[in-house]
Homo-oligomer: A and B are copies of this chain.
Amino acid sequence: MSQPEPDLAAIVRDVVADMHAREDRGTVATYIPELANVDPGYFGLAIVDVAGNVYAGGDCAVPFSIQSISKVFTLTLALGRIGDRLWRYVGREPSGNRFNSIVQLEHEAGVPRNPFINAGAIAVTDVILSGRQPRETLGEILRFVQFLADDATVSIDKDVADSEKRTGYRNSALANYMKSFGVIQNSVDYTLGVYFHHCAIAMTCEQLARAGLFLSCNGTNPLTGLSVVSAERARRINALMLTCGHYDGSGEFAYRVGLPGKSGVGGGILAIAPGKASIAVWSPGLDEAGNSHLGRIALEELTRRTGWSIFGGVS
């Protein structure tokens, strides 16, 4: 069986036009003051296919706060550092709870369910920190993202990081709670400092799509030819994104979009079509589960037209 190649340029054009026209744009996150000011009118989309072709439209060149999407990159980095020992500090199951829930930690001895809920990502950050200085660790994370995006201009938005640091009481609760169980090794302040800063990385849709491309290509970036992770590890990161990447909206995203994806409260989503492309979409308004409202709809339209769902029968 085969299928005609989708006309990606036309699809991007249509989806961008459709999304710009919509009135129900969700609600911009208010819990981080700096994010609350972002214009909900933005919509950007970028697709980088495995041949390196870029199809982009809308506000695809406007940097936005990637927030929790950074957790894909820190997970990759932590696995590179300590391999499967990482799973002593974090699980691999959907949580069935909101992104910032603390309930499960009490029932399961401080070990978070997966690396993509806040508690899990803090635990992963703590593994990367591993006794070093926060500044050094943060530099490493940033350089890794720049390397993945093949773009040294990717940077951290200090205002967002500071804003989150000043108001991040719930994340501080999660970190202290895990520390009380010995799941966090470094000082809570250090670990949270690095966490807040890597969540504050700002990227455009194009940069983000490029940075995720290795996950579509068995772990190797086809543009640079550099191997990032093994093919098996790439598959496994994709699996985690599929089951856990959208918090308690992960089932819905799999059901509607059918691609591994990771969302951030800045309104971005990184989606992976294995063997096909890496896709980044951005629209600041969120749905009730904290995922980009139009971002998800756009991706649903895109997979319908491309036939890229990983659950479909034709390849």
Residues of A within 8 A of B (CB): 1, 50, 91-97, 101-107, 113-114, 169-170, 172-177, 179-180, 188, 216-219, 231-232, 234-236, 238-240, 242-244, 248-252, 254-255, 258, 260, 274-275, 304, 309-315
Contact of A93 among B105, B231, B250 (CB under 8 A): B250
| Interchain residue pairs with CB less than 8 A apart (30) | A93-B96, A96-B96, A102-B102, A102-B105, A102-B173, A103-B107, A114-B251, A172-B172, A172-B188, A173-B173, A173-B176, A173-B177, A216-B313, A217-B313, A218-B314, A231-B312, A235-B309, A235-B311, A235-B312, A236-B255, A236-B258, A242-B254, A243-B243, A243-B250, A243-B254, A243-B255, A244-B251, A274-B311, A274-B312, A274-B313
Do residues A251 and B240 form an inter-chain contact, with CB atoms below 8 A?
yes
Cα A267 to Cα B32 with chains together (Å): 43
Chain B residues near A315 (CB, 8 Å)?
Answer: 274-275, 315
Chain B residues near A91 (CB, 8 Å)?
Answer: 251
A246 CB to nearest B CB, Å? 10
Cα A243 to Cα B239 with chains together (Å): 10
Chain B residues near A243 (CB, 8 Å)?
Answer: 94, 242-243, 250-251, 254-255
Q: How many copies does the complex hold?
A: 4
Contact of A169 among B103, B169, B179, B314 (CB under 8 A): B179
Cα A97 to Cα B108 with chains together (Å): 12
Closest 6 CB pairs of A and B: A96-B96, A94-B94, A169-B180, A173-B177, A93-B251, A238-B311
What would 11 more interface pairs be, CB under 8 Å, given A239-B258, A239-B311?
A93-B94, A93-B96, A169-B176, A231-B312, A231-B313, A240-B251, A240-B254, A242-B243, A243-B251, A243-B254, A274-B311
Q: Chain B residue with minimal CB distance to A248? A: B93
Given A173-B174, A176-B170, A239-B258, answer yes or no on A92-B313 (Cβ-Cβ < 8 Å): no
Q: Chain B residue with minimal CB distance to A219? A: B313
Cα A91 to Cα B312 with chains together (Å): 22
